[in-house]
Amino acid sequence: MMHLRLVVLFLCCVSFLGAAAQTRPPVGVTLSGGGAKGLAHIGILKAIDSAGLKVDAITGTSMGSIIGGLYAAGYSADTLEKITRAIDWASLLSNQTNLTSLKMEEKDEYGKYALELPWSNHGFRLPTGLLEAEELWLKFSELFYPVYQTKDFTKLSIPFKCIATNISDGSIVVLDKGELVKAIRSSMAIPTVFTAVRIDSVMLVDGGVVRNFPVQEVRDMGAKIVIGSSVANGLLPTKKINNVLQVLLQIAFFKEAEDNKHQQSLTDLYIYHPMLGYSAASFGRANEIIQQGVEKGREYYPAIKRLKDSLDALYGPEPAPQNRLPLVDSVQVSDIQIRGLVKTDSTFFVDMLGYKGPRKYTARQVTLMARRVYGTRYYGKVMYYLEPRPDSTALLVFEVSENPTTEAKVALSYNIFSGANLIADLTTRNYFTKHSRSLVTLSIGQTFRIKGQHLQYFGTHNQTALIATFEDEAPEYNTYTNFDQDGIYRNLYAVGDLRIQRSVNRIVALGLGTRFENSVFRPVLTSPLVLKGADNFFTSYPYFQVNTLDRWNYPRSGSKVNAEYDLTYGQSPDFEITDNGVRVNTDSLNKNAADYTRFLLDATQYISLHRKSTLFWQTQTAVNFRYQVNRVNDFMVGGLTPQFHNQVTFAGYDEGMVYTSSISSLLLGFRYEALPQIYLTARENVGVYNYLNVKDQLVSPSFLSGSSLSAGYDSPIGPIEFSLMYGDQSRKVLGYVNLGINF
């Protein structure tokens, strides 16, 4: 603050001596990089706004470029605080988009895998960063929509420049022209975390690599008085360097620390935010960081106000401009252009886009269009900007990066039922035919599973799909008598399925299908009553699906409905039953297997009560009508996560604790995000089963109820959840563990 005191003293002396100054010295602001910690800069801008100080230039790096760019565009500090407090940072800074944007056929496979490796140039390649962050691109495009006409950043309401690093030679790149969204995205592209950004054939990454605190650049813009806000922690003290990683990081930051010292010396008012206990990744604590910045702004408000008053006393009042953000609700678009297409064509892109022709479009409408295209899964990035035309219209430009047509995906999974498994997937698009997707998924570990699928789109807007699937698995099931385990079976189950599906839109689909199932039962640990043998049969079915969930892991809003009505026919049972070692006559079982029908319903809804609280409910019904071959197509009740066919999840009981041919259940649940990405979940469910006999007559049912409490972490490899369950009828407390994705 010494520099500022000297500046104020000088101004006071000049005023006292009556010197007539010709020009008011320009005031510049510099905001450092620092990831989540950079949100604290908002508090300093609030202090500047409250003091009424006019800012004449602003520079920033990384998060400083985001906050600085928005402020330069015309957003007030108060508005920036509201925007950043309302953002879902976990979704924004990820590779995930809202599930409602995806085609119905793509939702089941989206976002499941921890590692995705594209096939490019005859080999699998790592991307330039883990995150493309599509939603971040779109958020930037929305926020900077009102200044779409400004391609020279020095022509914004406050002249602005941001810093990036040329990845080829490590040089500083000062960005002051072009597309503002691309410039800021490149300035914050933390190496290996975010993908690099190409601008004019140059690959750019985070400017913090070479200049995290760009004071020199705001001086070069003509600023004579500079306020600098920094959240950089600098080098670690000796006592905190305790391992090889910290040594390497210390060495890596030598150059940055030296440059920061020099940049700090160029400021007149240097504001340092210690931000102890926070890191660049602490976006889950964004509100706390913003509040700390607000407190720091209050601390420095008197100094900023003195500077403003001194300038006014010497040069006359110059109030800061108000309402600097242009009022642009919509833009008249005269045409569109798509840049970056290689393997897909513009006809397909425009068809998926839903472009309505020349008309006015709001930022929200264009963002939804971009999401629709991204939801086809043919593109890894879809960003947009507007190019003004002389006739006051604009050219809407979509800049895309296509996904490789082939990807390998890997994930780890552990479930108390299926054990530990490595799940590997190979997905290719348009390999056999155009507008198609083919995949093979393999589970290797304690439970072998394999799935192959080919999906072929047809018709206008690709709303009709023919889907052929083959699955084979060999899980082991426990058998129970009065909720006590008495045996173990291995079920060798194979199914071939062919269905045709019509997607009404991105959230509703219906279809018809036929599948052939083969089920072999082999005892592993025998019980007094042993069933051994096989059955195969056909099932034809219509089905109906709804999916409006916002995301797969810990959804906050939306519904998911699966309804199916089956006709099962052509059975060929061949079973052998022994009771305490004595063979039972199975002629009636094997020879009189009649056709039967079944109905399945699984409906779930999530309701967001608060940013951290979610209420949800689920109802399940599974009924076999006129069903005679027991066990073969029974429903196995229990478990918290879907693991196998014919399962009805039920809190309080392990998988298969109850076998039944008819069950209906209702679950109520509440989930609370106690810490960022850490969730506490309570479930309570009730159900009735065995309420229908083989003649479809209602009979006195059995009652089931149970509950569970879970603690979970939404990790990069998928949910990690530990649960305790209690079954009222079994009177048992059980543990349940699920790590990662399900097959």
Q: Which has the closest alpha carbon to 651: 638, 663, 661, 665?
A: 638
Count how many Cα atoms sit within 13 Å of the Cα of residue 394 in the half-sphere of its side chain: 25
**CB environment 110-148: b (16+ within 10 A), e (fewer):** bbbbeebbbeeeeeeeebbbbbbbbbbbbbbbbbbbbbb
Count how many Cα atoms sit within 13 Å of the Cα of residue 443 in the half-sphere of its side chain: 24
Strand partners, 383: 399
- Our CA angle for 281, 286, 292, nearest 5°, is 110
Active-site option among 32, 49, 62, 259: 62
CA 346 to chain CA centroid, Å, is: 27
Q: How far apart are CA 688 and CA 665, in angstroms?
A: 7
Q: How far apart are CA 381 and CA 140, in angstroms?
A: 13
Strand partners, 454: 438, 468
Contact residues for 441 (Cβ-Cβ < 8 A; gap 6+): 423, 424, 425, 449, 450, 451, 452, 743
CA 242 to chain CA centroid, Å, is: 35
Q: How far apart are CA 237 and CA 65, in angstroms?
A: 28
Q: How far apart are CA 557 and CA 99, in angstroms?
A: 11
In terms of Cβ atoms closer than 10 Å to its own Cβ (0-12, 13-18, 19+), residue 528 is exposed
Contact residues for 737 (Cβ-Cβ < 8 A; gap 6+): 414, 415, 416, 721, 722, 723
* Beta strand pairing call for 129-131 and 192-194: parallel
Q: Which amino acid is at 701?
A: P
Count how many Cα atoms sit within 13 Å of the Cα of residue 333 in the half-sphere of its side chain: 25
Q: Is 78 a catalytic residue?
A: no
Active-site option among 206, 259, 268, 634: 206
Q: Which has the closest alpha carbon to 589: 546, 534, 544, 551?
A: 534
Q: Is 391 a catalytic residue?
A: no
Q: How far apart are CA 382 and CA 561, in angstroms?
A: 30
**Residues assigned a catalytic role:** 62, 206
